[in-house]
Structure 1
Amino acid sequence: MLYSQYRWNTPNIDLEAAAGLSQALSVSALVGRLLVSRGVHNETEAERFLHPDLGQMYDPYLLRGMNEAVPRIRLALERGEHILIYGDYDADGVSSTSLMIHLMRHLGASYDIYIPHRSNEGYGLHNHALDWAHQQGVTLIITVDTGISAVDQIAYAATLGMEVIVTDHHEPPETLPEAFALINPKLPDCPYPFKGLAGAGVALKLAQALIGEVPGEWMEIAAIGTVADLMPLEGENRVIVSYGVESMRGSRLPGISALLEISGVDQSQVTSVNIAFAMAPRINASGRLDHAGRAVSLLTTENLDEAHMLAGQLDLLNRERQQVVEGIVQEANAQLEQKIQLRSGKVPDVIVLAGEGWNVGVVGIVASKILERYYRPTLILGIDPETGVCKGSARSIDGLDIYEALTACKHTMDHYGGHPAAAGMTLHRDQLEELESGLNEFAASVLTEADFMPERLADDECRISDVPLKVIQEIDRLQPFGMSNPSPRFVLRNVMVKETRTMGREKRHLKLVLEQDGQQLETVAFGKGALAEYLPAGTFIDVMGELSINEWNGMRKPQLMLQDIHVPQAQVFDLRGNADPLNAMKQFLGSLEVHLRYTSGSIGAIVRKDIDVSEGNSLYEPCLWVYDRKVGLFPYNAAAQHYGQEQVRTLFVFDTPETPEQLDAMLAMFSGAENIILLHGSGNRRDRLQMPSRDLFKRIYMLVSKWRAEPVEEQEITPVLSRQCGCSPRMITMMLDVFEELSFITRKDGKISFVDNPPKRDLASSRHYQALENMAETEQVLLDASTPQLTQWMISRMKGVS
């Protein structure tokens, strides 16, 4: 049994409303249900959702501060003042800054830009940057995607004679800066109807207020910031991204075309998903490993050659970023395992990890990866070894507002800011322990055990027959997909694995062919290649994923992009004959970690006394049992004695039982085991049993009868009979047991005597014969049967003793 990584939930849908939409829009019942699950309940709402229009955008002057900001900017243009655009280094900040550059060019303004260096300066306004701006003759600063918390810095700018217009979308603090104008839809007294704008969206609203309808290329840039910053794709954001993506398909911006090309995206088919997973990571790589100015240059250049050069540089930075992330993830995991061991195997409610030399530009990505594995709110911080200053990023789970949690511990930090799901912070390393303690104390007061089980919402359950090409094409009408309008996920239950194979140079990806009711569906799972050997053909599984259309050589087929998997029945895994069974055990536990849901006492192993499996998994000590012929299986370590066999869900068998009775006793003892992994070798073939036959017994009987004159030493004739009949000495001994039971021979003092004229008795009536037959069959299956035969045989025995 493999558990799903996530808890699957499907919404309660108003089926009557869904049927009405399906009929009114002439779409499938499935698409009708998808619309209802997204808050669309009537035909009018459906038209707005399916056909985003510029007419759905709000008047920018509804934003508080816009009435003050626009006249001030126009005055600056009239006076020829030097304006500074002060941005941020993430993809939203880059987009916001780039959009403002296009605006300044359009207005003919005298301007400069400043984006702080992520590693050297950190987030937000800085006084030294304001000093520089003052030296450049700046009199007006316009912030984008930053500034709402810069109380002291904006006050300092005022002392230098510079006025500041803040455009931001982050959560406002209790004390607001005294800027010339504050434009942020999240301000408590801001009447703007839509609160979900990205920083680039707010910058776009400023541009609309200044010039009216903006060029389509600016919508492309705003779309990048909106998608990259994980803003909800509903309301006004849906309009921005829809128009941006449509414009992007024929973009006149050299940087957009070059970035899509280097990312391997067909520009004519670009979607919001491509923005999220192809464009945004490369833009972000600039600010993470270098300076965000390189990405700004890409989005604002008018030269195609320069655009290709810059796009290539960002692509290389992104590859370097991936390597840096992997290195930090390994160090962070090792550090976390030590913490878990000190906590007796318990993962902290909030994970706080810090390391010297960790690149602060990628700590947010590392935090996401640690969170994905352990599903705990996670802070990753890089420590400057000289100053002791820590800069980090946090990522959180649904149950914990990380901004609120940090606010409860704000006395430990020099600076922090962010959203409920993500945040950044700066503090001294001496405060790390107190911050970690405070966050865990806060989490303990708000989180329950259920919060630590990751949940993934599936839009609907369906069968393969429900999703032909026509329906998948209809689903595509719900684009653009992103936050609050995710690409629809579906659950398909009780589908059979028809074919399993890996893909990619390093076999990192998985491809399955699934079958149900005679219909097949190809399924691809990126990064799940390790599951291939654990999903043999014939396995019935439940899957969750996103539907798409695979186009190859002119053929179009439905395809499921698999995100999660569940095997609902007990499984037997055949890893027999492995040269290094301990390493095989460790690999098994590592490959299937998220699908086995380890808990203390859930891993068991049946071993010989000379095998040490304590290093099988450093987080969960396996419970060890040893087989003894007299007393059966008995616990061999403290973990087994403490937890007992009832807790075991994953059982590793290093040595096979010697008899069917021992096997059934083992299966009965571990009746709660959901996975049995066979790691035994092929045994000593010279000591193997073979299926008994009447001819073989007749032959042995004739050979033994040659010594009828006088008793013979059993120890002497056993090897002789073994050589003459091609049977193992063990087999000979067990056949002699049968002869003795049937009174064909007698045994005394290690000697065998032949009985003349024994009673006529059927071999099959012998208890020893039946035991030999069962033992030979068991041994043959366990050691020689094919994997399908072995697993089916084991599962049938498991059912028989349950």
Structure 2
Amino acid sequence: MLRANYEWQQLANDQEKLVSQIADQCDLPPLLANLLVHRGCESIADAQGFLKPQIQSILPPDQLHDMDKAVDRIVTAIENNELITVYGDYDADGITSTALMFETLETIGANVNYYVPNRFKDGYGPNQAAYQRLIEAGTQLILTVDNGVSGKEAIDFANDQGVDVVITDHHSLPAELPVAKAIVHPKYPGDEYQGGDLSGVGVAFKLAWALLEEFPTELLDLVAIGEIADVVSVAGENRALITMGIHQLRQGVRVGLHELISLTNADEAHLTEEDIGFQIAPRLNALGRLEDANQGVELLTTLDEDQGRQLAKAVDDCNQERQKLVQTVTEAAMVEAKKPENVDRPVLLIVGHDWHQGILGIVASHILQTTGKPTIVASVNQGETVAKASGRSRDGFDLFAALDQHRDLMTAFGGHPLACGLSFEVDQADTLRSVLVRATDQQKFDGQKKPSLTIAGQLEQKELTLEFYRQLQRLGPFGPGNELPTFLLKTAKISDLQTMGQKQQHLKFTVTGAQGKVAVLAFNNAGLLSSLQGSTPDLAVQVGVNRWRGQTKLQLMLHDLKITGPAIEDARVTRLIAPMFKQKAVYVTFNQQLRDNLTGNVAGQVVSGRTAQTMDLTDQKVVIVDCPPDLPTLVKILKNCQRVARIHLMFFSRTPLHQRGMPGRQQFVALYQTIRQQKINLNRMGQQLANYLQVDNEQLIFMIHVFLELRFVTIKDGVLAPVKEITRADLKQTMSYRQRMAQLTVEQTLLRSTSDQLVAWVKQNLNSH
């Protein structure tokens, strides 16, 4: 038995008429038509609009607060040839925002440059020292993209210097807003934007549209990258922006991006939002985490192929270094997360020393994914007292709200409900931990409760096709607000289990589809290998494809699984060695001598077959070490194993009989006739007798035991002699004969069967009543 990590909630199909109409009119599988209904489509027209998003669904830029003021100030700057500095951010959303706005201002003749702050020197958002350097270099207007609303002090400084600041941002608003020439923000109090959840690049795009006075399709590739990287909702107008942006990306127009994509596993002509989220965005983010994010803007804006190639290589190298750092720091942070003082905490604040501060957010995500706990990971460098940190949260706990009222404990703070960045004096760590724990009570956050997982429906074998994937893609792009659906494969028959990856950390297996075997990948889940062996689990999977060397194959990604009965592992052995007994388990043995040898030398409990029939084995791993004396004994044990986690079948046999078999009737007759003719000294003539009967010594001894039990013969001082008067009897009814037959039956069923046959037999007897 293996419990799911999520609470599965399958979508109902309670609007069958509408589902049938949408499936028919939109040429969709009913399973996907039902999904559209659950995602808000109340008519065929809604479904058609969802499947083919139009530019008409995108609101004009004047719907955003202060857009007219921002345009007026920028136009004035252009007319007066003022130097405009686009002040960006060092993540993928900020880099694309900076590139988009820089290109736009150049196009309309502005005197413009850009500045992407350094994560380590400048920190996030407006920085007074950086502003001062820019102003001293001649900047007369600062235009922030993907930042600004948390920069009151720096912006006040710019105002004092006679330099205006125009803010475009989307981050959570502080209690006191800065005094700027314009604040273009979709959540401005009292003037909230109705178009959707724009990221920084989405807001910048609206300003670019207003400045250009026409819809700038050529900039949508940058919008798609920034919006997907920042994990904003893909519902509303973002659906149209990202859809058209992905189409633009597939054209390969941007030299630097084209070269960068060539270094990934993505297929540019078939680029998806998944490729952006897992291939492009992490590489751009790596620059800001480790090096200079200005290189990212150069990559996105260059027109020179050689420069694009060089920049793409530098970005990719930086990402590889980032991956190594993440692995090292995650391992160290996980050790901290598992310490006793953290085990019972619903929210974690982990403080390390000299961890690379550019990757703390990724590490926090890994800890959150593993523990299920909202996590802040901080690091303080040698000789310093201020720790820098990044936090990641999950549904049910607003990390920004938890800390926003305690800014006095921090030297810097900003973010979203599910992510934040902060700095604090390291001696405030315990106080911050207390604040976070109190916030879980205030928000009624239950960290023990499993997060929910929506199951879109059950996939049948006939639906595991490339055509189903093509139809599914019509519902994309996927992301928050339109999540990639997860489907159920019920009692899947799996095969070809294997680990993969540099450290064998991933798991791969296959299930049967309509056109053959379909691969299922379970990243960072190699530990499931033993649990899945011999099981028919319920799988929660997402549908994708693998494109390799011109071939496209259906591929499933494992999201979660349930094994309702015990996992059964065929681990039959011909010898026993110490490493086989290192795992904690209940070891069942039928041989007393073997049980004595194992007791005290295994990582668990050693019990007899009789004890195993009645003891509480719930959630235990049960290892059946040797062969039982007969199958009914094993069946009684299996009936008590319905609630165990795993059954590990070793079935060691010291002297298997199947190679010798059962002596035939003629051999019994020949033995008896030989004994009737003469007494036999077994010590001197035993081998000669075995050769004559064409049996081995073990079979001869068995036959003699049968005759002794029937009282056909006697043995005295090693001499075998016949009994003068015998009572006719059936040798098959003797205990010796029946025990041998039982052992042969055991071996035929347990040792000579195929793995599939063995597992099927065990399952049948697990479920028998």
* 1:525 correspondence with 2:505: no
CA contact (8 A) 1:376 1:452 kept: no
* 1:8 correspondence with 2:8: yes
Q: Deviations over 1:627-685 (max 9, x none)?
A: 358x74599xxxxxxxx7243343234455555565345434444224201246x4434
CA contact (8 A) 1:689 1:727 kept: no
1:625 corresponds to which residue?
605
Aligned-pair CA distance for 1:221:
0.8
What SS does the corresponding residue of 1:573 show, helix, strand or coil? strand
What SS does the corresponding residue of 2:140 show, helix, strand or coil? strand
What SS does the corresponding residue of 2:338 show, helix, strand or coil? helix
In the aligned structure 2, how far is the partner of 1:505 from the partner of 1:232? Answer: 34
Aligned-pair CA distance for 1:484:
1.8
Tell me: CA distance 1:158–1:745, structure 2 relative to 1, closer, same or farther (3 Å). Answer: farther
What SS does the corresponding residue of 1:108 show, helix, strand or coil? coil
In the aligned structure 1, how far is the partner of 2:643 from the partner of 2:132? Answer: 69
Size of the alignment, in residue pairs?
A: 759
- One of 412, 426, 429 as aligned partner of 1:432: 429
In the aligned structure 1, how far is the partner of 2:467 from the partner of 2:606? Answer: 58
In the aligned structure 2, how far is the partner of 1:525 from the partner of 1:466? Answer: 18
Name the % identity.
Answer: 30
Aligned-pair CA distance for 1:217:
2.7
Aligned-pair CA distance for 1:146:
1.4
Q: Deviations over 1:598-651 (max 9, x none)?
A: xxxx964448566699997xxxxxxx322358x74599xxxxxxxx72433432
1:478 corresponds to which residue?
475
* 1:576 correspondence with 2:572: yes
Greater displacement, 51-60 / 302-311: 51-60
* 1:772 correspondence with 2:769: no
1:648 corresponds to which residue?
619
- One of 459, 464, 483 as aligned partner of 1:462: 459
What SS does the corresponding residue of 1:478 show, helix, strand or coil? coil
CA contact (8 A) 1:513 1:521 kept: yes
1:44 corresponds to which residue?
45
Q: Deviations over 1:214-242 (max 9, x none)?
A: 43332111111011111111222112112
CA contact (8 A) 2:10 2:456 kept: yes
2:763 corresponds to which residue?
795
How do 1:253-268 and structure 2 match up within 5 A? 253-268=254-269
CA contact (8 A) 1:494 1:542 kept: yes
Tell me: CA distance 1:613–1:98, structure 2 relative to 1, closer, same or farther (3 Å). Answer: farther
In the aligned structure 2, how far is the partner of 1:352 from the partner of 1:394? Answer: 9
What SS does the corresponding residue of 2:743 show, helix, strand or coil? helix
Q: Deviations over 1:314-338 (max 9, x none)?
A: 1122222222222222223333334
In the aligned structure 2, how far is the partner of 1:151 from the partner of 1:749? Answer: 108
What SS does the corresponding residue of 1:544 show, helix, strand or coil? strand
Structure 2 unaligned blocks of 5 or more: 590-594
Q: Deviations over 1:674-725 (max 9, x none)?
A: 4201246x44349999644445666776788899699x99xx9999999998
CA contact (8 A) 1:85 1:100 kept: yes
1:594 corresponds to which residue?
none
Tell me: CA distance 1:286–1:578, structure 2 relative to 1, closer, same or farther (3 Å). Answer: farther
In the aligned structure 1, how far is the partner of 2:645 from the partner of 2:689? Answer: 44
How do 1:178-257 and structure 2 match up within 5 A? 178-257=179-258
In the aligned structure 2, how far is the partner of 1:762 from the partner of 1:103? Answer: 101
In the aligned structure 1, how far is the partner of 2:675 from the partner of 2:162? Answer: 115
CA contact (8 A) 1:409 1:439 kept: no
Aligned-pair CA distance for 1:404:
2.4
In the aligned structure 2, how far is the partner of 1:509 from the partner of 1:378? Answer: 27
CA contact (8 A) 1:219 1:241 kept: yes
Counterpart amino acid of residue 649 in structure 2:
L
Counterpart amino acid of residue 478 in structure 2:
F
1:288 corresponds to which residue?
289
* 1:378 correspondence with 2:379: no
1:128 corresponds to which residue?
129
Tell me: CA distance 1:26–1:52, structure 2 relative to 1, closer, same or farther (3 Å). Answer: same
Tell me: CA distance 1:216–1:444, structure 2 relative to 1, closer, same or farther (3 Å). Answer: same
CA contact (8 A) 2:663 2:695 kept: no
In the aligned structure 2, how far is the partner of 1:564 from the partner of 1:331? Answer: 26
In the aligned structure 2, how far is the partner of 1:717 from the partner of 1:709? Answer: 7
Counterpart amino acid of residue 68 in structure 1:
K
In the aligned structure 2, how far is the partner of 1:158 from the partner of 1:468? Answer: 61
Aligned-pair CA distance for 1:145:
1.1
Tell me: CA distance 1:719–1:359, structure 2 relative to 1, closer, same or farther (3 Å). Answer: farther
In the aligned structure 1, how far is the partner of 2:142 from the partner of 2:41? Answer: 42
Greater displacement, 369-378 / 291-300: 369-378
Tell me: CA distance 1:738–1:403, structure 2 relative to 1, closer, same or farther (3 Å). Answer: farther
Tell me: CA distance 1:736–1:46, structure 2 relative to 1, closer, same or farther (3 Å). Answer: same
Q: Deviations over 1:561-610 (max 9, x none)?
A: 55444444443201233989776687xx8xxxxxxxxxxxx964448566
Greater displacement, 282-291 / 657-666: 657-666
1:684 corresponds to which residue?
654
What SS does the corresponding residue of 1:284 show, helix, strand or coil? helix
Tell me: CA distance 1:796–1:269, structure 2 relative to 1, closer, same or farther (3 Å). Answer: closer
Counterpart amino acid of residue 357 in structure 1:
D
Tell me: CA distance 1:450–1:4, structure 2 relative to 1, closer, same or farther (3 Å). Answer: same
In the aligned structure 1, how far is the partner of 2:578 from the partner of 2:203? Answer: 57
CA contact (8 A) 2:89 2:124 kept: yes
Q: Deviations over 1:401-424 (max 9, x none)?
A: 222233366554333322222222
In the aligned structure 2, how far is the partner of 1:378 from the partner of 1:697? Answer: 76
What SS does the corresponding residue of 1:482 show, helix, strand or coil? coil
In the aligned structure 2, how far is the partner of 1:212 from the partner of 1:585? Answer: 74
CA contact (8 A) 1:335 1:353 kept: yes
* 1:667 correspondence with 2:646: no
Q: Deviations over 1:49-104 (max 9, x none)?
A: 23323222223222222232222222222333232222111110111111121122
In the aligned structure 2, how far is the partner of 1:583 from the partner of 1:301? Answer: 59
In the aligned structure 1, how far is the partner of 2:573 from the partner of 2:658? Answer: 16
Counterpart amino acid of residue 481 in structure 2:
S
Aligned-pair CA distance for 1:307:
0.7
Q: Deviations over 1:499-557 (max 9, x none)?
A: 667778987562524157xx6462342636776776679x6443333445677898877
TM normalised by structure 1 equals 0.83
Structure 1 unaligned blocks of 5 or more: 590-601, 617-623, 636-643
What SS does the corresponding residue of 2:119 show, helix, strand or coil? coil
CA contact (8 A) 2:378 2:388 kept: yes
In the aligned structure 1, how far is the partner of 2:62 from the partner of 2:172? Answer: 20
2:100 corresponds to which residue?
99
How do 1:352-391 and structure 2 match up within 5 A? 352-391=349-388
TM normalised by structure 2 equals 0.86
